[in-house]
């Protein structure tokens, strides 16, 4: 292998054996001077696409990055691998910034990370004209799109790079799949001539699961206990109040849980985010305000205690799990109440009719995903315009096929009950009527006299709830924005007239692993998959302890010492000499010399004890 080939840098500097997806093609394209537009999902390995050409080409690679925390993380990761990298942002003092600028001008840096607003200052552009520039990389390039969620006006000015530095290759990268955003990126960054590299948006290591709420706290606890002992994760809730309540309840249950929402003081938020990144086993309970700019690779689960508004949000939020490619869970609990609440929120919102129509459509797709009886991944990917040929075998519906029942008559009874009672009531009251219960409310409104009173005794209350939920999800019932009462609509009529056969799914009732049998000991799913031979769990703990101590000494996040993929590979290979050590994923020359001896000492000790 030529020491200056991309493959050798991949191995010696980053400690990896093979390129992933389009990485190699992108790197070669840049090395040949081409421009590139790169769409790779989160965790797909975008950074190496510009880092390796930055290392190989003469001069400095200038990386535009919108978030200070991400920038610092990336630079520290590169330094851990022995790469000459630096950043320029508002956290540096004047003198520190000057020092970095000097290093850059002297050609002592392979990579420089810089905030967009600084890059486009006349002073900095002038400085750049005195340097050899290997390439420009524009990370999170969707920030240039006004259509997307993360628009940053300063990104618009980056178009000047094309004019001011003709001949310097430019690469724009994003994890956003939206075609409108993609077109805006090309247009606004003057990259219409760039070659496009688009990978599949599938995240095969994430296991998607949706359960119907039935004591959600217990379901969450079962899930955490049976699959995520000692793991880091994020739990999303819709309201600040619920975030606070859930976090303090989890704390009582012995978890290291922190709250995060926009209502907390800025310092508190920063501190909680810092703890999530720098400590292990931290669970953040958050509103959607949390997540952007968090590059933590070992988030082992994302749980939703409330239904997200649409599949775009769901995919973005769940995408924060398992960036390191190791097994991770996306788990959600949802209920009829969620569906009713979100429908009502859309109708009560400020937007015009067109806006509301689109929001309802998006919510329907989200609900459809929850109620689907076939592979969830296929349906998710299809929503984003990608076809997956086979069921994934890594979602709940694949792992334990959903049973369905023919419920045309019950659907008719439910809809008819809505009609007979005057279309102004929620599911709870309607179920009382169907079951023939004479409650105060039933008496008050005289609903014990309607023709649907007591006609639904063949189902239990919980089953009727499931029927109403699925009718709302399939759009056969609408929700009144003011009263939240259920109403008929155009979709209800063919069902009422018996023109449409209806099948309902049988709800799974458990929270944790419903699809496996037998009792399992408490362990995280990842640990369980890795630690199969005797004593390896002890080794796992020792290596993790070493990682934590080292991280504390260096004041860096533990995953920058080595990440979970490296941890798993260390346990798999148990290296005892330098050569074996270098065969471990994520261990290159620099990490071998920084940590190799100490890691091997831990492994030696383990081998003596167990073999």
Q: Choose which of 367, 395, 427, 527 interacts with Zn ion (CB under 5 A).
A: 395
Can residue 16 be called a binding residue for ligand ADP (CB under 6 A)? yes
For Zn ion, give the closer residue by CB, 82 or 391.
391
Identified binder of Zn ion from the candidate list 398, 471, 574, 581, rule CB under 5 A? 398
By the rule CB under 5 A, 496 interacts with Zn ion: no
Distances (CA, A) of 251 to 245, 247, 258, 284, 357: 10, 6, 8, 11, 41
Pick 20 or 251: Cβ nearer ligand ADP: 20
* Binding window for ligand ADP (CB under 6 A); candidates: 25-33, 45-53, 375-383, 528-536: 45-53
SS3 per residue for 468-498:
HHHHHHCCCCEECCCCCCEECCCCHHHHHCC
Contact region for Zn ion (CB under 5 A) — 34-42, 86-94, 258-266, 390-398? 390-398
Residues 464-483 within binding reach of ligand ADP (CB under 6 A): none
Site residues for ligand ADP, 570-599, by CB under 6 A, read 585
* Binders of Zn ion in range 356-375 (CB under 5 A): 375
Count of alpha carbons within 13 Å of 119, Cβ hemisphere only?
25
Residue 398 site contact among ligand ADP, Zn ion, none (CB < 5 to 8 Å, cut-off depends on kind) = Zn ion
Coil vs helix vs strand at 135: strand
Q: How far is CA 235 from CA 207, 242, 396, 522, 523, in A?
A: 16, 11, 19, 20, 19
Residue with tokens 């994430």: 206
Q: How far is the CB of 277 from Zn ion (least distance, A)?
A: 31
Q: Residue 377, interface with Zn ion (CB under 5 A)?
A: yes
If the CB atoms of residues 150 and 463 are measured against ligand ADP, the closer one turns out to be 150
Query: Distance (Å, rounded) from C-alpha 274 to C-alpha 276?
Result: 5
- Interface residues for ligand ADP in 217-236 (CB under 6 A)? none
In 10 A of CB 192, how many CB atoms?
A: 10
Decide: is 562 part of the binding site for ligand ADP (CB under 6 A).
no
Give 143's DSSP letter.
Answer: G
Q: Which of ligand ADP, Zn ion, none lies near 242, with the C-beta cut-off 5 to 8 A by kind?
A: none
- For the chain, what is the radius of gyration of the CA atoms? 27
Piece in contact with Zn ion (CB under 5 A), picked from 11-19, 186-194, 398-406, 528-536: 398-406
DSSP string, 559-574: HHH--HHHHHHHHHH-
Residue 392's binding partner out of Zn ion, ligand ADP, none, with CB under 5 to 8 Å set by partner kind: Zn ion
Opening angle at CA 450, ends 444 and 451, nearest 5: 160
Q: How far is CA 581 from CA 70, 81, 535, 539, in A?
A: 29, 15, 20, 16
Residue 47 touches which of ligand ADP, Zn ion, none (Cβ within 5-8 Å per kind): ligand ADP
Q: Interface mask (CB under 6 A) for ligand ADP, residues 263-302, using x and -? A: ----------------------------------x-----
Nearest to 390 by CA among 378, 382, 379, 381: 378
Binding-site partner at residue 395 among ligand ADP, Zn ion, none, CB < 5 to 8 Å by type:
Zn ion
Ranked by CB distance to ligand ADP, the top (closest) residue is: 45
Comparison of 45 and 53: residue with beta carbon closer to ligand ADP? 45
Q: How far apart (Å, rounded) are the C-alpha atoms in residues 581 and 324? A: 20
18/382 with CB nearer Zn ion: 382
Residue 323 binds which of ligand ADP, Zn ion, none (CB < 5-8 A, kind-dependent):
ligand ADP
- The DSSP symbol for 259 reads E
Can residue 47 be called a binding residue for ligand ADP (CB under 6 A)?
Answer: yes
Strand runs labelled E in 187-307: 195-198, 206-212, 232-236, 257-260, 283-286, 299-304
Which region, judged by CB under 6 A, interacts with ligand ADP, from 36-44, 122-130, 219-227, 242-250? 36-44
Dist CA 532 CA 536 (whole Å): 7
Looking at the chain, how many residues does it have? 611
Decide if residue 60 touches ligand ADP (CB under 6 A).
no
| Beta bridge mates, 136 | 62, 170
- Choosing among ligand ADP, Zn ion, none, which partner's interface includes residue 43 (Cβ < 5 to 8 Å by kind)? ligand ADP
Interface with Zn ion, residue 392, by CB under 5 A:
yes
The 302-341 contact track toward ligand ADP, x by CB under 6 A, reads ---------------------xxx----------------
Q: Which of 48, 185, 285, 556 binds ligand ADP (CB under 6 A)?
A: 48
Q: Which of 239, 241, 279 is nearest to 257 (CA)?
A: 279
Is 432 a binding residue for ligand ADP by CB under 6 A? The answer is no
Helix (H, G, I), strand (E, B) or coil at 173: strand
Contact yes or no for 575/606 (Cβ under 8 A): no
User: Using CA atoms, how far apart are residues 411 and 48, in angstroms rounded to an integer?
Assistant: 54
Nearer to Zn ion, 342 or 398 (CB): 398
Give the pair of three-digit tokens for residue 7: 């493959």
Expressed in angstroms, the distance from the first to the final Cα of the chain is 37
Told to check if 557 binds ligand ADP by CB under 6 A, we report no
- Kindly state the smallest distance separating residue 16's Cβ from ligand ADP, in Å: 4
**Contact indicator for 588, 11 with CB cutoff of 8 Å:** yes
Burial class (CB in 10 A: 0-12, 13-18, 19+), 498: exposed
Q: Check residue 504 for interaction with ligand ADP (CB under 6 A).
A: no
Query: How many residues interact with ligand ADP (rule CB under 6 A)?
Result: 18
Is the Cβ of residue 382 or residue 438 nearer to Zn ion in the bound state? 382
Tokens for 109? 């840096």
Residue 66 binds which entry of ligand ADP, Zn ion, none, with Cβ cut-offs from 5 to 8 Å by kind? Answer: none
The single residue listed with the structure tokens 């720098």 is: 278
Give the residue with the Cβ less far from Zn ion, 395 or 473: 395
- What residues line the site for Zn ion (CB under 5 A)? 375, 377, 391-392, 395, 398
- What residues line the site for ligand ADP (CB under 6 A)? 16, 19-20, 23, 40, 42-48, 297, 323-325, 563, 585
């Amino acid at each position: 292998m030529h020491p200056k080939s991309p493959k050798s840098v991949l191995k010696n500097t980053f400690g990896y054996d093979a390129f992933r997806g389009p990485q190699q093609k992108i790197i070669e394209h840049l090395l040949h001077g081409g421009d590139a537009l790169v769409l790779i999902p989160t965790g797909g390995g975008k950074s190496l696409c510009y880092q390796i050409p930055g290392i190989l080409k003469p001069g400095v690679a200038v990386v535009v990055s919108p978030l200070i925390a991400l920038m610092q993380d990336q630079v520290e990761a590169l330094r851990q691998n022995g790469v000459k990298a630096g950043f320029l942002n508002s956290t540096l003092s004047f003198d520190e910034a000057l020092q970095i600028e000097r290093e850059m001008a002297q050609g002592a840096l392979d990579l420089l990370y810089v905030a967009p607003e600084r890059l486009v200052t006349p002073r900095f552009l002038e400085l750049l004209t005195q340097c050899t520039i290997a390439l420009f990389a524009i990370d999170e390039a969707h920030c240039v799109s006004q259509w997307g969620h993360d628009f940053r006006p300063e990104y618009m000015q980056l178009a000047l790079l094309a004019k001011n530095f003709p001949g310097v290759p430019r690469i724009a990268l994003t994890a956003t799949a939206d075609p409108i955003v993609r077109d805006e990126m090309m247009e606004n960054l003057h990259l219409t001539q760039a070659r496009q590299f688009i990978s599949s948006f599938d995240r095969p290591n994430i296991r998607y699961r949706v359960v119907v709420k039935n004591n959600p706290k217990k379901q969450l606890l079962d899930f955490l206990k049976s699959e995520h002992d000692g793991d880091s994760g994020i739990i999303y809730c819709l309201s600040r109040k619920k975030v606070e309540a859930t976090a303090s309840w989890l704390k009582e249950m012995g978890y290291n849980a922190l709250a995060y929402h926009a209502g907390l003081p800025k310092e508190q938020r920063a501190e909680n985010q810092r703890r999530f990144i720098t400590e292990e086993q931290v669970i953040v309970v958050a509103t959607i305000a949390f997540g952007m700019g968090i590059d933590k690779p070992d988030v082992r689960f994302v749980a939703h205690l409330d239904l997200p508004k649409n599949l775009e949000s769901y995919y973005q939020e769940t995408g924060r799990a398992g960036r390191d490619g190791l097994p991770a869970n996306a788990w959600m609990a949802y209920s009829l109440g969620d569906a009713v609440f979100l429908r009502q929120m859309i109708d009560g919102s400020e937007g015009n009719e067109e806006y509301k129509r689109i929001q309802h459509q998006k919510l329907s797709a989200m609900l459809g995903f929850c109620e689907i009886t076939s592979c969830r991944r296929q349906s998710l990917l299809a929503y984003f315009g990608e076809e997956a040929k086979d069921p994934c075998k890594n979602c709940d519906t694949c792992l334990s096929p959903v049973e369905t029942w023919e419920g045309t008559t019950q659907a008719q009874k439910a809809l008819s009950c809505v009609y007979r009672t005057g279309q102004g009531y929620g599911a709870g009251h309607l179920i009382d009527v169907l079951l023939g219960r004479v409650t105060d409310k039933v008496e008050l409104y005289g609903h014990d006299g309607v023709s649907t009173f007591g006609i639904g005794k063949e189902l239990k209350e919980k089953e009727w709830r499931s029927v109403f939920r699925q009718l709302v999800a399939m759009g056969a019932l609408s929700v009144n924005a003011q009263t939240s009462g259920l109403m008929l609509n155009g979709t209800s009529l063919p069902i009422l007239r018996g023109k449409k056969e209806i099948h309902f799914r049988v709800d799974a009732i458990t929270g944790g692993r419903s699809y496996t049998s037998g009792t399992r000991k408490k362990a995280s799913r990842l640990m369980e998959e890795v630690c199969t031979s005797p004593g390896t769990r002890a080794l796992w703990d020792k290596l993790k302890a070493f990682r934590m101590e080292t991280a504390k000494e260096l004041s860096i996040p533990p995953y920058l010492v080595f990440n979970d993929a490296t941890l798993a590979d260390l346990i798999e290979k148990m290296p005892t000499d330098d050569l074996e050590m270098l065969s471990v994923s994520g261990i290159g020359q620099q990490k071998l010399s920084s940590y190799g001896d100490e890691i091997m000492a831990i492994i030696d000790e383990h081998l003596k004890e167990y073999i």
